[in-house]
C-alpha cells in the first residue's frame, strides 16, 4: 500500500475525530454524552492497564472466530451441494432464504433451552449468521460455473474429487472469498449483539454494563474496538483474497 492509498483510507476517520475533539473543546457538545476522543483513549489505557479490558477482547475474539469457522466450513459444504444438485438447492434454498431475513438473535432463547446458557448457544448463533451468507454465496458461485469446463475435465478423466479440487473450488474462489469476508463481519456483529443480551465477558458486555452504570467512556471504547476489529478483519480477508485469487487484482 502506497502512502497516498493509506492517506485516502484514513483521512475521513481522522477528520471526524479531530472535529469531535474540537467541538468538545469549544463547548459545542455535551462532554457527558460525547466525551472527547482523547479522554476516551485515556480511559481505555486505564482499563487496559488494570486488566479489565483484556477478558472482554478475548471473549469477543473467541466467539467470533469459533462461530465463523464453524459456520463457514458448514456453509461451504452445503453451498457446494446446492450448487451441484438442483434438487438439493430446491430443498434448501427456501429455508436459507427465510433464515436470511429472520433475526438470528431470536434463535438465542430457543438455543439456550436446547444447549444451556453457556458458550455453546452463543457460538451457534454466531455460526448461523456466517453459515447462511457463505452457503448462499458458494451455491451461487458453483451454479454459475461454465458447464463446458466441467465437461472438459470429465473428458480428461477427472473424478468427482478432481472436479471439486481442480474445477469447482478455483472457479468459486472469487465469490467465495466475498462470502467469507461478509460472513466474518456478520460473525463479529452477532457476537457483540449476543454479548449485549447476556454474557459474562465481551465487548457487548462492556457496552451494556457501561450503559447501565452510565460509564459513557466504556460504551465508546467498546464501539471503537469493535470497529477496529471489523476493519482489521476486512483488511485481513482482503489480504487472504489477494493470495488465493491473484487474478482478481
Per-residue pLDDT reduced to its tens digit, 164-174: 777 877 888 88
What's the rounded mean pLDDT across residues 106-114? 86
Q: What whole-number distance in Å separates Cα of residue 106 and Cα of residue 104?
A: 5
Q: Give the rounded percent of residues in the chain with a pLDDT score beyond 90.
A: 47
Residue 198 lies in a domain: yes
Residue 169 lies in a domain: yes
3-class SS of residue 146: coil
Q: What whole-number distance in Å separates Cα of residue 33 and Cα of residue 216?
A: 7
Write a three-state SS string for 62-112: HHHHHHHHHHHHHHHHHHHHHHHCHHHHHHHHHHHHHHHHCCHHHHHHHHH
Q: Which residues contact 242 (CB under 8 A, 6 or more apart)?
A: 248, 249
Q: What is residue 242's predicted lDDT score, i.e. its pLDDT?
A: 83
Residue 24 lies in a domain: no
Residue ranges of alpha helices (H) inside 26-52 are: 37-50
Residue 78 CA from chain centroid, whole number: 19
Q: Which residues contact 23 (CB under 8 A, 6 or more apart)?
A: 29, 34
187, 191, 194, 198: CA torsion to nearest 10: 170
Taken in order 205, 206, 211, 213, the sign of the CA dihedral is positive
pLDDT in tens, 117-128: 888 999 999 999
CA 40-232-106 angle, to 5 degrees, is 85
Q: What is residue 112's predicted lDDT score, i.e. its pLDDT?
A: 87
Q: What whole-number distance in Å separates Cα of residue 150 and Cα of residue 27?
A: 67
Question: What is the domain-level CATH number for residue 100?
Answer: 1.10.3720.10
What's the rounded mean pLDDT across residues 180-196? 93
Specify whether the CB–CB gap between 139 and 89 falls below 8 A: yes
Residue 249 binned pLDDT confidence (cut-offs 50, 70, 90): low
Residue 1 binned pLDDT confidence (cut-offs 50, 70, 90): low
Residue 63 binned pLDDT confidence (cut-offs 50, 70, 90): very high
Residue ranges of alpha helices (H) inside 169-214 are: 169-197, 203-212
Residue 29 lies in a domain: no
Domain that holds residue 163: 35-248
Residue 69 lies in a domain: yes
Residue 14 lies in a domain: no
Residue 159 binned pLDDT confidence (cut-offs 50, 70, 90): confident
Q: What is residue 209's predicted lDDT score, i.e. its pLDDT?
A: 93
Highest mean pLDDT range out of 9-13, 54-58, 156-160, 235-239?
A: 54-58
Q: What is residue 59's predicted lDDT score, i.e. its pLDDT?
A: 95
Residue 153 binned pLDDT confidence (cut-offs 50, 70, 90): confident
**Domains in the chain: how many in total?**
1
Residue 248 binned pLDDT confidence (cut-offs 50, 70, 90): low
pLDDT in tens, 18-51: 999 999 999 898 888 999 999 999 999 999 999 9
Given a cut of 70, whether residue 205 has pLDDT beyond it is: yes
39 φψ region: left (φ > 0), alpha (ψ -120 to 50), beta (else): alpha
Residue 13 lies in a domain: no
Q: What is residue 142's predicted lDDT score, i.e. its pLDDT?
A: 83
Residue 46 lies in a domain: yes
pTM of the complete model: 0.87
Amino acid at each position: 500500500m502506497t502512502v497516498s492509498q493509506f492517506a485516502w483510507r484514513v483521512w475521513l476517520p481522522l477528520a471526524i475525530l479531530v472535529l469531535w475533539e474540537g467541538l468538545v473543546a469549544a463547548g459545542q457538545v455535551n462532554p457527558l454524552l460525547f466525551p472527547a476522543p482523547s479522554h476516551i483513549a485515556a480511559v481505555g489505557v486505564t482499563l487496559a492497564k488494570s486488566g479489565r479490558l483484556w477478558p472482554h477482547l478475548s471473549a469477543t475474539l473467541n466467539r467470533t472466530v469459533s462461530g465463523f469457522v464453524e459456520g463457514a466450513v458448514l456453509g461451504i459444504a452445503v453451498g457446494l451441494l446446492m450448487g451441484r444438485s438442483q434438487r438439493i438447492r430446491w430443498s434448501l434454498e427456501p429455508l436459507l432464504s427465510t433464515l436470511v431475513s429472520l433475526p438470528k438473535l431470536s434463535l438465542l432463547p430457543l438455543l439456550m433451552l436446547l444447549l444451556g446458557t453457556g458458550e455453546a448457544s452463543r457460538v451457534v448463533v454466531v455460526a448461523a449468521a456466517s453459515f447462511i451468507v457463505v452457503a448462499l454465496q458458494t451455491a451461487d458461485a458453483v451454479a454459475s460455473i461454465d458447464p463446458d469446463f466441467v465437461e472438459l475435465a470429465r473428458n480428461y478423466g477427472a473424478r468427482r474429487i478432481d472436479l471439486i479440487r481442480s474445477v469447482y473450488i478455483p472457479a468459486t474462489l472469487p465469490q467465495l472469498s466475498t462470502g467469507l469476508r461478509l460472513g466474518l463481519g456478520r460473525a463479529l456483529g452477532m457476537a457483540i449483539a449476543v454479548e449485549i443480551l447476556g454474557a459474562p465477558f465481551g465487548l457487548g458486555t462492556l457496552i451494556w454494563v457501561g450503559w447501565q452504570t452510565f460509564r459513557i467512556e466504556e460504551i465508546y471504547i467498546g464501539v471503537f474496538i469493535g470497529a477496529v476489529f471489523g476493519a482489521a478483519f476486512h483488511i485481513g480477508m482482503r489480504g487472504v483474497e489477494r493470495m488465493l485469487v491473484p487474478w482478481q487484482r
